C-alpha cells in the first residue's frame, strides 16, 4: 500500500530568506534525505515510514524552488554553494550537529558537495545513482552521451516551451517513467517550477566537467541500478578512489533510475544495513564483505589456504576498534624465486624481488596515512655448525626468519584498502615469489606519534623562533 504523503509531519523553515518545506518524522539518529530532479520529498515516500519504524528521525526537505518550498527566480541562486548552504541551514535550524546523509540524482550531487565541504557535519554518506564529481567527469564517452539532456536544459526559454508541448511529450520521453509522471506534471506545471528545476543544471554546468579530485573523509556507500538510462555504472564504481574513509558499492538490478521507487524492498534493506552505527569510523560487516570479495581469487595460495586466510582476515576486520594498528611482517626468503600466477615480470634474487616490492608499496602506504616504523634484516648467533636467529629457541620457526618489518596503519580500514587495491595486486607477486610471510597485528600499548605531526610541530617551532629572532634584530636599542 502506497504511504499517504499528506500524513507526513512538515515544518516551514526560513533559510536564506526563503521558506523551505521540510518533512520531519520520527525520533532517533538523524537521517537527511535529499531528492533530485524532477522530484520533491515525496520521492522518499517508500523510505520514510521504514526509517521511522527502524528508530530514525527523518529530515526530508523540498530543496530550493522545488515541491512546496519557496520559488527563487534568480538563476545564480541555484549555484552549488548556495544549495549546500541551504542544507546546512536545515541542519542548523533543527539543531542537528551531525547527520546520516542520503541523496539521489541532484540530491546526490548536493550530498557529495556537502560531505566534501563540511565532513564534520556528516556521519556517513549514501548516494544513489550519481558518483563522486571527479568520477562522473571521468566517466568516459558513454557518460557524456547519457548526459545529453544537460545541454538541452541550457536552452533557456526554448526548453521550457518544448518540454510541455503535446501533453509534455518530450519530457515524458526523456524521463521514461509513466507511473510517476502525473505527480511531476502536477508539481512542475505550476508557474516557474519547471524553470527552477532546469536552473540546477544551468547554474552548475561547470560541475559536470570539472575534475575535482577532492577526497572524501567520511564513510560512503554508492548505489546504482542497472536500468539507469542517465548514468553509467563506471562513474559510481570509480568513486572508490576518492573515498579515504571507506567505500562500499551496491548494485540493484531490474529497476530504473528511481530505484527507491521501483525497487523499494531491495533498496530499503541496503539503506538500513548501511545506516547502522559503526562508531569511531570502524569497519562494518558490509565493508568487510566487500573487501573480502575483492581479495578472493587474487591470493597466490591454494583454495584451502586462501579460504583460511580470508576467514581470519574477516574476523579481524569485523573486530575493528577504530584504533591504529601495527602490523608485524616476519619474512623468510626462499632459496630461489618461487613463481606464482602473475609474476612473469619478477626477476633477480628473492631479496631483490622483495626490495622491488617494498619500493613500490611505499607510496601506496603513505597515501593511506600508513608508514613503516621499523625494518631490518635478522641476525643471530652461530653455535658449532648451526646458525640460530632465535637465541632463546622457544618459538618454532623463528630460526628461519630473514627480515622483519613493522608498519603502522591509522586503522584497519587502511590495511584492507591497501591489500584490496588493484594496484597492489600488480606488485604483490614480487613479495609472494620471494618469501614466506607471517602477519601479526600488534595492539600498541605505547603509541608512537604520527611523524607527520611531529615534523609539522618542529617546523612550526622553527618558524616561530625565526620570526622572534628577526623581530628582536629589528627592535630599536633602548
Instruction: Name the more confident of 249 and 277.
Output: 249
In order of their start, the domains of the chain are 5-277 (3.40.50.1820), 286-442 (3.30.70.100)
SS3 (DSSP) at 89: helix
CA neighbours within 13 Å on the CB side: how many for 227?
15
Q: Of 242, 251, 297, whose CA–CA distance to 417 is shortest? A: 242
**Span between the terminal Cα atoms of the chain, in Å:** 88
Q: Give the separation between CA 430 and CA 468, rounded to whole angstroms.
A: 51
Question: The pTM is what?
Answer: 0.66
- Distance, in Å, from the CA atom of 95 to the CA atom of 90, rounded to the nearest integer, reads 9
Q: Whole-angstrom Cα distance, residue 357 to residue 431?
A: 6
**H or E segment and range at residue 193:** helix 193-202
Identify the band that residue 5 occupies on the pLDDT scale cut at 50, 70 and 90: confident
Mean pLDDT value of segment 187-205: 95
DSSP element (H, E) containing 237: helix 233-237
Task: Using DSSP, state whether 225 is helix, strand or coil.
Answer: strand
Q: Which sign does the torsion angle of CA 276, 279, 285, 288 carry?
A: positive
- 394 or 303, higher pLDDT: 303
Is the model's pLDDT at 149 over the cut of 50? yes
Please give the backbone phi and psi of residue 194, each rounded to the nearest 5 degrees, phi first.
-65, -40
Query: Mean pLDDT over all residues of the chain?
Result: 88
pLDDT band (50, 70, 90) for residue 279: very low
* Nearest CA among 318, 263, 327 for reference residue 290: 318
**Total residue length of the chain:** 478
Q: What does the pLDDT read at residue 13?
A: 96
Q: How far apart are CA 426 and CA 298, in angstroms?
A: 10
Cα-based distances in Å from 274 to 31, 196, 218, 322, 362: 12, 32, 13, 17, 32
Which range has the worst mean pLDDT, 40-44, 98-102, 118-122, 321-325?
321-325
Share of the chain above pLDDT 90, in %: 58
Least confident of 229-233, 362-366, 388-392: 388-392
How far apart are alpha carbons 166 and 187 in whole angstroms? 18
The whole-angstrom separation of Cα 250 and Cα 3 is 26
**Tens-digit pLDDT profile for residues 113-146:** 999 999 999 999 999 999 999 999 998 999 999 9
Burial class from Cβ neighbours inside 10 Å (0-12, 13-18, 19+) for residue 407 reads buried
Report the pLDDT value the prediction gives residue 343, as an integer from 0 to 100. 66
Helix (H) or strand (E) holding 164: helix 158-175
DSSP 299: S
pLDDT for the residue numbered 207: 86
Q: Does 299 or 204 have the greater pLDDT score?
A: 204
Residue 190 or 442, more confident: 190
Among 21-35, 165-179, 388-402, the range scoring the smallest mean pLDDT is 388-402
Residue 159's pLDDT is 95
> b/e for 14-49, b at 16 or more Cβ within 10 A?
ebeebebbbbbbbeebbbbbbbbbbbbbbbbbbbbb
Q: In the numeric block, which cell numbers belong to residue 305?
A: 589456504
Band the pLDDT of 421: cuts 50, 70, 90: confident
Q: Is the peptide bond before 204 cis (omega within 30 degrees of 0)?
A: no
Q: In the structure, what pLDDT confidence band is assigned to residue 477 with cuts at 50, 70 and 90?
A: low
Looking at per-residue pLDDT, the higher value among 380 and 346 belongs to 346
Rounded distance between C-alpha atoms, residue 289 and residue 311, angstroms: 11
> Which cell numbers in the block locate residue 447?
603509541
The helix or strand, by DSSP H or E, that contains position 14, with its residue range, turns out to be strand 10-15
Q: Above 50 in pLDDT, residue 104?
A: yes
- As a whole number of angstroms, the distance between CA 465 and CA 83 comes to 44
Contact call for residues 37 and 106 (beta carbons, < 8 A): yes
Identify which of 208, 240, 281, 272 has the alpha carbon closest to the alpha carbon of residue 421: 240
Task: Give me 267's grid cell.
Answer: 533498496
What was the pLDDT predicted at 375? 86
Q: Given this model, what pLDDT does residue 361 score?
A: 93
pLDDT at 387: 65
> What does 124-145 look like in DSSP terms, one character per residue?
EEEEES---HHHHHTSHHHHHH
Q: With cut-offs at 50, 70 and 90, classify the pLDDT of residue 210.
A: confident
**pLDDT tops 60 at residue 281:** no
**Residues paired with 374 in a beta bridge:** 406
CB atoms within 10 A of CB 443: 9
Q: What is the pLDDT of residue 234?
A: 94
Instruction: Give the CA count within 13 Å in the CB-facing half-sphere of 446.
Output: 0
DSSP state of 216: B
- pLDDT, position 101: 97
Which pLDDT does position 450 carry in this prediction? Answer: 54
Task: Please check the confidence at residue 452 and state whether its pLDDT lies above 60.
Answer: no
Per-residue model confidence as pLDDT tens digits over 289-347: 888 888 888 877 778 888 898 999 988 888 887 788 999 999 999 989 887 666 677 88
Amino acid at each position: 500500500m502506497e504511504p499517504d504523503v499528506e500524513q507526513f509531519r512538515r515544518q516551514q523553515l526560513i533559510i536564506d530568506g526563503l521558506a523551505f518545506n521540510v518533512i520531519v518524522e520520527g525520533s532517533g539518529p538523524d537521517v537527511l534525505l535529499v531528492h533530485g530532479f524532477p522530484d520533491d520529498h515525496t520521492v522518499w515516500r517508500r523510505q520514510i515510514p521504514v526509517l521511522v519504524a527502524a528508530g530514525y528521525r527523518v529530515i526530508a526537505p523540498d530543496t530550493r524552488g522545488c515541491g512546496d518550498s519557496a520559488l527563487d527566480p534568480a538563476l545564480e541562486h541555484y549555484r552549488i554553494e548556495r544549495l549546500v548552504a541551504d542544507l546546512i541551514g536545515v541542519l542548523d535550524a533543527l539543531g542537528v550537529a551531525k547527520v546520516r546523509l542520503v541523496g539521489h540524482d541532484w540530491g546526490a550531487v548536493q550530498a557529495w558537495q556537502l560531505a566534501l565541504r563540511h565532513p564534520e557535519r556528516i556521519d556517513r554518506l549514501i548516494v544513489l545513482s550519481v558518483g563522486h564529481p571527479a568520477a562522473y567527469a571521468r566517466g568516459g564517452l558513454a557518460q557524456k552521451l547519457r548526459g545529453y539532456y544537460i545541454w538541452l536544459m541550457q536552452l533557456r526559454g526554448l526548453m521550457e516551451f518544448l518540454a510541455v508541448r503535446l501533453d509534455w511529450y518530450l519530457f515524458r520521453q526523456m524521463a521514461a517513467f509513466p507511473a510517476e509522471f502525473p505527480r511531476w506534471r502536477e508539481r512542475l506545471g505550476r508557474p516557474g517550477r519547471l524553470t527552477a528545476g532546469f536552473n540546477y543544471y544551468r547554474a552548475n554546468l561547470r560541475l559536470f566537467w570539472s575534475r575535482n579530485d577532492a577526497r572524501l573523509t567520511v564513510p560512503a556507500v554508492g548505489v546504482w541500478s542497472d536500468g539507469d538510462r542517465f548514468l553509467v555504472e563506471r562513474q559510481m564504481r570509480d568513486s572508490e578512489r576518492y573515498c579515504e574513509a571507506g567505500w562500499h558499492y551496491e548494485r540493484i538490478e531490474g529497476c530504473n533510475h528511481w530505484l527507491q521507487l521501483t525497487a523499494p524492498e531491495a533498496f530499503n534493506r541496503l539503506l538500513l544495513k548501511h545506516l547502522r552505527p559503526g562508531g569511531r569510523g570502524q569497519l562494518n560487516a558490509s565493508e568487510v564483505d566487500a573487501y573480502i570479495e575483492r581479495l578472493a581469487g587474487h591470493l597466490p595460495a591454494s583454495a584451502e589456504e586462501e579460504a583460511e586466510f580470508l576467514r581470519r582476515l574477516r574476523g579481524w576486520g569485523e573486530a575493528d576498534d577504530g584504533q591504529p594498528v601495527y602490523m608485524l611482517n616476519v619474512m623468510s626468503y626462499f632459496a630461489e624465486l618461487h613463481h606464482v600466477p602473475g609474476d612473469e615480470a619478477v626477476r633477480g634474487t628473492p631479496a631483490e624481488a622483495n626490495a622491488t616490492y617494498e619500493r613500490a608499496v611505499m607510496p601506496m602506504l603513505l597515501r593511506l596515512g600508513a608508514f613503516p616504523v621499523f625494518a631490518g634484516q635478522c641476525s643471530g648467533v652461530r653455535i658449532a655448525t648451526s646458525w640460530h636467529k632465535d637465541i632463546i629457541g622457544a618459538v618454532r620457526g623463528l630460526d628461519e626468519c630473514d627480515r622483519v618489518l613493522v608498519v603502522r596503519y591509522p586503522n584497519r580500514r587502511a590495511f584492507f584498502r591497501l591489500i584490496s587495491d588493484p594496484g597492489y595486486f600488480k606488485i604483490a607477486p614480487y613479495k609472494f615469489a620471494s618469501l614466506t610471510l607471517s602477519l601479526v597485528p600488534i595492539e600498541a600499548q605505547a603509541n608512537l606519534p604520527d611523524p607527520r605531526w611531529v615534523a609539522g610541530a618542529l617546523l612550526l617551532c622553527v618558524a616561530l623562533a625565526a620570526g622572534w629572532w628577526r623581530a628582536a634584530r629589528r627592535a630599536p636599542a633602548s
